[in-house]
Amino acid sequence: MRAVIVREHGPAGAQRVETTPDPAPGHGEVVIDARAIGVNYPDLLVIEGRYQFLPPRPFSPGKEVAGVVSAVGPGVTRFRPGDRVMSQREYGTYAEKTLSPEATCYRLPDTLGFEEGAALGLAYQTSHFALVERGGYRTGETVLVTGASGGVGLAGVEIAKALGATVIAGVTSADKGELARRHGADHVIDLKAPKLRDSLREQVYAAVGKRGVDIVLENVGGEVFDGALRALAWCGRMVVVGFASMRLPEVKANYLLLKNIAAVGLQWSDYREREPVWVQRVQAELYALWSEGKLRPYVSERYPLERFAEALACFVERRVRGKMVLLP
């Protein structure tokens, strides 16, 4: 099979698509023939060697794939060859075939296409866990999503709206704001406004009143984090999801005390590894919301596997809207 292989960490594009042996399923594993491969910001960090978990080299990057089961190992009970599935992995999906444990494999609804299926995975799981589990969302609360036009952010907007929240989308341009509105945002704020540390809160207050927001799903870091923390309501919760700006923020503990607020983090892949049944349950909920028309994964770009570096360049150049997929 063909696969992107990382032999040395470095800039995306320095790696080649190589021919490697087809994987053979071990106990409890399935082989998936890829039809669409989800592209995620962490893929870039893994390739460059800047991510918190790095696989032993050489390896194939990539964290999600939708496709068709072509082989199953002993002990597999839920799948058989021919099944349409999506899988979440720590790495290994930038390939024509992916080996996946049965536990992190999810059957695709019959009418969900492979591209949307590959998009309705990591980003949606991340935002769902951030909102519901880490953020302790209660129906009707107000939720601010930063980086709302990106993969995780747009999923967060859709999920929060689907669960009955008033949603504020933080974006950096008018057209990205329109995109967020089309996917459920009630209000849009400008993350490029000057003096964001104060102006973010002013924009939130103008949108929903001086109470502020109950939950922030924070994907950006830096000044966006600083401003969003100040926009929290009494007993609000800041959920740290990512640092797309590459700037790590800091919190003064007295501020948490003074406002009765909480700052918590989310590392979704821990749930995938430690709580696969829970993650399966959330995936079923995501599919149910999708079948009700409440989630609409937006695949904005498609690239052949060989052009993976062009897809990853969109993260660096800040051109991402929703999700991108690779087509093997």
Ligand X SMILES: NC(=O)c1ccc[n+]([C@@H]2O[C@H](COP(=O)([O-])OP(=O)(O)OC[C@H]3O[C@@H](n4cnc5c(N)ncnc54)[C@H](OP(=O)(O)O)[C@@H]3O)[C@@H](O)[C@H]2O)c1
Residue 100's φ and ψ, nearest 5 degrees, are: -135, 140
Among the listed ranges 7-15, 16-24, 160-168, 312-320, the one in contact with ligand X (CB under 6 A) is 312-320
Euclidean distance between CA atoms 39 and 309, whole angstroms: 10
CB of residue 315 to ligand X, shortest distance in Å: 5
Residue in 263, 266, 289, 311 binding ligand X, rule: CB under 6 A: 266
Q: Give 307's DSSP letter.
A: G
Residue 23's φ and ψ, nearest 5 degrees, are: -75, 150
Write the DSSP string, 85-118.
Answer: EEEE-SS--SBSEEEEEGGGEEEPPTTS-HHHHH
Residue in 104, 149, 166, 203 binding ligand X, rule: CB under 6 A: 149
Which residues are paired to 66 by β-bridges? 36, 86
User: Beta strands of the chain (E only): which ranges?
Assistant: 2-5, 16-19, 29-39, 64-72, 84-88, 97-101, 105-107, 142-146, 166-171, 187-190, 213-218, 232-240, 262-265, 299-304, 323-327
Told to check if 61 binds ligand X by CB under 6 A, we report no
Told to check if 93 binds ligand X by CB under 6 A, we report no
Euclidean distance between CA atoms 75 and 67, whole angstroms: 21
CB of residue 22 to ligand X, shortest distance in Å: 29
Residue in 61, 92, 117, 150 binding ligand X, rule: CB under 6 A: 150
Looking at the Cβ atoms of 31 and 299, the one nearer to ligand X is 299
CB of residue 104 to ligand X, shortest distance in Å: 14
User: Beta strands of 139-272 (E only): which ranges?
Assistant: 142-146, 166-171, 187-190, 213-218, 232-240, 262-265
Among the listed ranges 65-73, 103-111, 150-158, 253-261, the one in contact with ligand X (CB under 6 A) is 150-158
Between strands 142-146 and 105-107, the pairing is: unpaired
Euclidean distance between CA atoms 53 and 212, whole angstroms: 35
CB of residue 75 to ligand X, shortest distance in Å: 29
Token pair, residue 309, equals 């570096």
Told to check if 183 binds ligand X by CB under 6 A, we report no
Site for ligand X in 277-306 (CB under 6 A): none
Residue in 23, 25, 38, 151 binding ligand X, rule: CB under 6 A: 151
Place of tokens 């150049």: 317
Told to check if 308 binds ligand X by CB under 6 A, we report no
Looking at the Cβ atoms of 220 and 282, the one nearer to ligand X is 220
CB of residue 132 to ligand X, shortest distance in Å: 14
Residue in 76, 220, 279, 305 binding ligand X, rule: CB under 6 A: 220
Contact 229, 212 (CB under 8 A): no
CB of residue 6 to ligand X, shortest distance in Å: 18
Told to check if 121 binds ligand X by CB under 6 A, we report no
Contact 32, 38 (CB under 8 A): no
Contact 161, 315 (CB under 8 A): no
Among the listed ranges 113-121, 133-141, 260-268, 298-306, the one in contact with ligand X (CB under 6 A) is 260-268
Residue in 153, 212, 249, 328 binding ligand X, rule: CB under 6 A: 153
Told to check if 191 binds ligand X by CB under 6 A, we report yes
Given the rule CB under 6 A, which residues bind ligand X?
A: 40-42, 122, 126, 147, 149-153, 172, 176, 191, 219-220, 224, 241-245, 266-268, 315, 318, 320
